[in-house]
Amino acid sequence: MKIIAGNWKMNGTRANLIDMVTALQKVDTENNVILCVPYTMLGVKSDRNISLGAQDVSAHDHGAYTGEVSASMIADSGAKYVIVGHSERRQYHNETNDTVRQKAAAALSAGLTPIICVGETMEEKQAGKTMEIIESGVRESIPNDIDKNIIVAYEPRWAIGAGLTPTSEEIAEAHKLIADTLTAMGLSGTPVLYGASVKGSNAAEIMSIENVDGVLVGGASLKPDDFIPIITSVK
Ligand code: 13P
């Protein structure tokens, strides 16, 4: 069983999501399928095989924070997951590992599973800092003293939306480091997803790499014709 999560980013309509859910209901799979969609689409009815998630959450529970949405509100919509620390939040909203940890803690306290993203920029990669950024991302973005109700996603930031993917060796090395770091933190068994330019043609190969428990898919999660082949590429 793998986790196949879609991140719609700022795309789509409720009608698109209803079409996707209708198409996915016909797919015979034991994989755990998650769709992380804009807030306005949460609450669209999905069946038990497809869970919805948000793409960001406030670190605050309620109050005078205009424009923010809290974890308890996301849970109230029926969603089960929330992405935190996506590279686009880190890049465009200056989110740091500290911010991400607070948001993940807020998600956990409302009973949501945070999908905590880490990954290096091209600059960091070129400076030979990939492993350092990944390890500090994992150590600093995950709240202390928690149960295992989290998912980690490794998203090499330079490869997102670029049609680029790291080599299988690079993915294996990053995921081994993440798995080892999680074990050292008492969180062994935490699922770790790979995300960046995943598509039907590379999904099976990526998910056959050790310590890759699933994928987080951007562009190729928007249309059933692109997303379903990813879901059915693995048992
Ligand atoms: P792409 O699959 O479009 O590269 O996006 C990856 C991503 O950012 C998923 O969160």
Atom of ligand 1 nearest to the CA of 88: 8
**Among this protein's residues, is 86 annotated catalytic?**
yes
Q: What is the DSSP letter of 37?
A: -
pLDDT of residue 174: 98
Q: Please report the pLDDT score of residue 151 as a whole number.
A: 98
Of 163 and 31, the one with more pLDDT: 31
- pLDDT at 48 (0 to 100): 67
Residue of 88, 120, 155, 175 marked catalytic: 155
**What percentage of the chain exceeds 70 in pLDDT?**
100
| 30 has a pLDDT exceeding 80 | yes
Which residue's CA is the nearest one to ligand 1's atom 1? Answer: 218
Examine the pLDDT at 148 and tell me if it is beyond 80. Answer: no
CB of residue 222 inside a 6 A radius of ligand 1: no
Q: Looking at residue 161, what is its pLDDT?
A: 84
Distance from the CA of 64 to the center of ligand 1, in angstroms?
32
Other C-beta atoms closer than 10 Å to the C-beta of 59 total 19
* Residue of 110, 190, 84 lying closest to 147 (CA atoms): 190
CB 8 within 8 A of CB 38: yes
- Please give the pLDDT value at position 56: 98
Regarding pTM above 0.85, the answer is yes
Residue 14 has pLDDT above 80, yes or no: yes
Is 93 noted as a catalytic residue in this protein?
no
**Contacting residues for 124 by C-beta, under 8 A, at least 6 apart:** 130, 133
- For a substitution probing ligand 1, which of 160, 201, 206 has the most ligand atoms within 8 Å of its CB? 160
Strand runs labelled E in 90-182: 113-118, 151-154
Tell me the domains of the chain and their CATH numbers: 3-231 (3.20.20.70)
C-alpha 229/C-alpha 225 separation (Å) is 7
For helices 130-141 and 97-109, the axis angle rounded to 10 degrees is 40
Determine the average pLDDT of the residues in 149-170: 93
Q: What are phi and psi of 153, to 5 degrees?
A: -120, 130
Mean of pLDDT over the chain: 96
Q: For residue range 125-141, what is the model confidence (pLDDT) as tens digits?
A: 999 999 999 999 999 99
- What is the per-residue DSSP string for the chain? --EEEEE--S---HHHHHHHHHHHTT----SEEEEE--GGGTT----TTEEEEES---SSSSSS-TT---HHHHHHTT--EEEES-HHHHHHS---HHHHHHHHHHHHHTT-EEEEEE---HHHHHTT-HHHHHHHHHHHHSPSS--S--EEEE--GGGTTTT----HHHHHHHHHHHHHHHHHTT-TT--EEE-SS--TTTHHHHHTSTT--EEEESGGGSSHHHHHHHHTT--
Specify whether the CB–CB gap between 213 and 176 falls below 8 A. Answer: no
Residue 186, both tokens: 């008492």
Summarised one tens digit per residue, pLDDT across range 170-229 is: 999 999 999 999 999 999 999 999 999 999 999 999 999 999 999 999 999 999 999 999
Question: Using one digit for the tens of pLDDT, what is the confidence trace for 83-99?
Answer: 999 999 999 999 999 99
